[in-house]
Amino acid sequence: MLTLENFKQQIDPTILKRGLQYFESQAVETLEENEPVHWEAVVSGSENYEVEIVLKKKAIKSVSCDCPYDRGPICKHVVAVLYALAGQPTVPKVKSNKPKKLTFEELLLKIDLEELRSFVRDQHQGNRDFGNKFLLFFAEKDPSIDIAAKYEGMLHQLVRQHSSRGFMDYRSTFAFSKEVQPILDIASKAIGQQNFRDALVIVQASCKIGLDVIQNCDDSAGNVSGILFQGIEVLGHIAQSKTVSPELLEQLYAYLNKSLRVKT
């Protein structure tokens, strides 16, 4: 069990050293117990990061941080807060005069329509991926958009980014599948909204690209096959739905017939 007394022996030495440097440079700007055993802190780094720790007496029940660190359960910001908690005879309650950091939702609600439109225009000009995602998210407002071509284009771009000389190595399949996941999530969301047309289009594009990639990659971790399995699950939901139109079912069966046909 991780505690304030043994965390120095339990955490990776490199992360421990970086966390200590943050603590000693007074990067822990706020630290307070908002609820019994629930501590919240703000740690300054390249940005301000919010750390939450559930601490029962000296036992560390859970930790979280909103930084992008993804190589383990504990980052240097969490370690800095653990040092802050462990470095006093009693658990401290430090407050700051700095304004509380707004949540994403709180900040979004403060932005007016023209500011938001200006931000979207700037992102579209400098970020092609953002423009494609924006068009696809609001595709139902413009029937002229060929969403199948858009999704295939996005997926082909991801394949190019994560492949070398036409081959995707073991490590790259992790990054590739991680970036494809939001696209599959859109398909699942479309099913929930009974937007079966978009769900089918997304899955067709994902499976088509996935089948091409799996023939030229090291999929020993099952990342690319996982994309195909998720696509098959979505197709199953479409086929079993009682509200899907006969025309769309015909498209689905035609797609499956073509995809599963064995050439002799």
What is the per-residue pLDDT across 132-157, written as a single tens digit (0 to 9) for each? 778 777 776 777 778 888 888 889 99
Q: Is 237 found in the same domain as 158?
A: yes
In a shared domain, residues 256 and 167: yes
- Residues 151, 245, single domain; the answer is yes
pLDDT (0 to 100) of residue 99: 62
Nearest residue to 95 via CA among 180, 33, 145: 33
Considering the domain boundaries, does residue 251 fall inside one?
yes
Do both 230 and 159 map to the same domain? yes
Do 168 and 214 touch, CB atoms closer than 8 A?
Answer: no
What's the whole-model pTM score? Answer: 0.52
Query: pLDDT tens digits, residue range 159-201?
Result: 999 999 999 999 999 999 999 998 899 899 889 889 898 899 9
Report the distance separating Cα 82 and Cα 91, nearest Å. Answer: 10
- In-domain check, residue 117: no
Predicted local confidence at residue 88, as pLDDT: 56
Last residue of a domain, one of 86, 115, 134: 86
Domain's final residue, options 39, 57, 86 = 86
Report d(CA 52, CA 79) in Å as an integer. Answer: 11
Residue 226 lies in a domain: yes
Residues 72 and 171 in one domain: no
For residue 186, being part of any structural domain is answered with yes
Range(s) of the domain holding residue 21: 7-86
Residue 64 sits in the same domain as residue 154: no
Domain boundary among 57, 86, 115: 86
What pLDDT does residue 90 have? 46
- Degrees to nearest 5, angle at CA 188 with 185 and 194: 140
Number of domains in the chain: 2
Q: How far is the CA of 12 from the CAs of 7, 68, 125, 222, in angstroms? A: 10, 18, 42, 28
Residues 6+ apart with CB under 8 A from 255: 200, 204
In a domain, 11, yes or no: yes
Question: Is the same domain home to 74 and 153?
Answer: no
- Burial tier of 224 (Cβ tally within 10 Å: 0-12, 13-18, 19+): buried
Same domain, 252 and 152: yes
For residue 97, the model assigns a pLDDT of 52
Q: What percent of the chain has pLDDT over 90?
A: 50
Residue 206 lies in a domain: yes
Kindly state the helix (H) or strand (E) to which residue 35 belongs, with its residue range: strand 28-35
Q: Is residue 48 part of a domain?
A: yes
Residue 2 forms part of a structural domain: no
